[in-house]
A and B are shown apart, each in its own frame.
Chain A
């Protein structure tokens, strides 16, 4: 490209920047969503900074797997301290907020969410320096002609948790932790068989700590899929015990513990 062309393009870009009214700018429309602005408070996030992995087409909106992965050294000076996830056209857009410490070793997690309809899913991540990163994906939700969904929840299993923590790891190599708790995550929007609204009842908090030191805390909202699932990372320096606690909105809690050995 010759210099002249380049200059005139720059000039054109400049004019655009001057003439575009602030609200109709090149910014993606999801950035203007109320739920997003409530978190960003006017800050302009960097894109792309977050890998947001979610199927473009999903046949079952009641449980859609989503993975978030942010590049970060996760050292005490430079780590990701918060991650938020939204489904903008759900009855309530907030899905989950995670607060992380460097003990996680990697700013990465996988969970399952509900999508009421085809829409945009947005992830925001904050660096410990205060800077925001963001990613968005459009997801189409269909219900396949050969798929019809029925409840799979049994009350006697309520609050039963499953965890998988590697028994052994190496110093400096993050390990994967998988967790799931049996819970219907009643949205408070559904009618029961008697026609009355089934009241909201959800797991609202998940905490993971190694020997009393926090790895992550998650706030869950009602659009998280039933049987909340969370896969996350830990990078402990030495052998110890990971404690995981789920708390229901009734105050009832369940705890699981697993010890691991760290080889040097």
Chain B
């Protein structure tokens, strides 16, 4: 009996992917332990972190009760939203469902909001009135916008000047505005200071908007007002912009008065730190962010608005038994990416199972690759592997890599193919759906 179970467990390690590499070395010791772990694990959020965690908990320990709480019946990815905005991918191709988790893995999926958390009583309240108890809680709620942090930018303003940094209606609104913009108009993107979701995201977004404008409204301009003096893959982006879009895109660094202090959404105007007013035809504000609100309700956030975690397990530093993964955490130098959330989920699933069996967590290892498309056939990437060293997370020395400068279109096109393959692969890993179109 026990042998059989262990075999299944070993089998399932195959599915752990990159993050499993680290886990694998320590994992066999788990099979020395006694019975299959039991308990109820509640996972909040069905995105890159949460859906992966639910899946791998069940794969590694089918004896566990796993409940996933996610309001949406259809998850829409942020990755490749920019391609939708750029007119190179359909909106429907970003949709994923929870059928595999529910029907094949036996996860209980509840479509509702988690409203509040009672950390002492180990219970979670849902908006619909239901309340569940847990043995371990995993939160992967992603980000919330810090409304009002940027003067003039509140929820009403986002209906006029969308952020499109959480996918759904906001992405459609921004796409519609781009379609309605006249040729010769100005698209203004306001980029935030660190830390924020997807460090290369704003720069991929202007690339894809440029792709659309070049094909349909070539007299238009793009102004990127930045709260920073530098950004992810900057040299590669700028080289690509110049090559494909000439002088269509202008990047204004913070030191060149790029920091936006006030938004006037009614007039589609922004005011910078030193008082310059920029007028937009389409205004896309990527605002300051924080961990999703349920993290606050669980008392796991600190003054920064993000969640400090124990590096080995991603258990909250503030509340025992509550694990937080994905964008909501302070996991620097790991970036806030879907790829990272996926590997964090696998490490945390294995740490929780080890804990339930009274074993120490294995030495973790996480990975990341961020692809960015500059045109549909011209992409760049950055990659890294991370470990715990001196009880802090660090990038494994020499592990990282960034696409080379000055290479030709064959290389960049291959990276664009890799980006599409990455999307299909990770979607399949997380939700069991590649793309619905």
Contacts and interface: CB of A to CB of B under 8 A. Distances in A.
B257 A147 contact: no
A93 B229 CA distance: 23
A164 B275 CA distance: 7
B255 A145 contact: no
Contact of B232 (A148, A163, A164, A226): A148
Interface of B: 194-195, 198-200, 228-235, 253, 255-257, 273-275, 304, 330, 332-335, 337, 368, 370, 382-384, 386, 392, 394-395, 400, 402
Contacts of B199: 144, 146-147
B370 A146 contact: yes
A59 interface: yes
A150 interface: yes
Given A145-B386, A227-B229, A180 B333 contact: no
A8 to B, nearest CB: 34
B205 to A, nearest CB: 14
A227 B228 CA distance: 12
Most chain A CB inside 10 Å of its own CB: which residue of B274, B330, B394, B402: B274
Contacts of A227: 229, 255
Contacts of A91: none
B1 to A, nearest CB: 44
B274 A146 contact: no
B355 to A, nearest CB: 26
Nearest to A147: B232
A242 to B, nearest CB: 15
A14 B394 CA distance: 43
Q: Which 3 A-B pairs have the closest CB atoms?
A: A146-B199, A145-B384, A146-B335
Given A162-B274, A164-B275, A147 B231 contact: yes
A1 interface: no
B304 A55 contact: yes
Q: Per DSSP, are chain B's interface residues mostly helix, strand or loop, or mixed? A: loop
B304 A150 contact: no
A57 interface: yes
18 contacts: A57-B304, A59-B194, A62-B229, A140-B332, A144-B195, A144-B332, A145-B335, A145-B395, A146-B233, A148-B232, A148-B402, A150-B230, A152-B229, A152-B255, A162-B257, A178-B274, A180-B255, A180-B257
Interface in A92-145: 140, 142-145
Among B199, B255, B402, which residue has the most Cβ atoms of chain A within 10 A? B255
Nearest to A160: B256
Interface in A42-69: 55-60, 62-63
B274 A163 contact: yes
A146 B330 contact: no
B281 to A, nearest CB: 26
A37 B321 CA distance: 45
A192 B228 CA distance: 24
Contacts of B337: 146
Contacts of A144: 194-195, 199, 232, 332-335
Q: Which of A62, A140, A150, A163 has the most CB of B within 10 A?
A: A150
B274 A164 contact: yes
Contacts of B256: 157
A60 B199 CA distance: 12
Contacts of B333: 59, 142-145
Interface string A214-255: 000000000000110100000000000000000000000000
Contacts of B275: 164
A164 B199 CA distance: 29
Contact of B253 (A56, A143, A148, A152): A152
A238 B279 CA distance: 35
Interface string A17-56: 0000000000000000000000000000000000000011
A149 B230 contact: yes
A178 B230 contact: no
A187 interface: no
A235 B272 CA distance: 24
